[in-house]
Amino acid sequence: MSIISSSVSEISLGAVHWYRSSFSSGELFQANDQMNFNACQILLLTIGEESKKIEAFLKFQLSSTPWELIAGLRNRLTND
Tens digit of each residue's pLDDT, the chain (80 residues):
444 455 666 767 677 777 667 666 666 556 556 777 788 888 888 888 888 888 888 888 888 888 888 888 888 888 87
Residue range(s) defining the domain that contains residue 55: 3-79
For the chain, the domain total comes to: 1
Distance between CA atoms of 34 and 56, rounded to whole angstroms?
36
Would you give the distance in Å from CA 78 to the centre of its chain? Answer: 12
> In the chain, what are the helix, strand and coil shares in percent, each to the nearest 5?
70, 0, 30
Whether the CB-CB separation of 51 and 71 falls below 8 Å is answered with yes
Quote the pTM value: 0.59
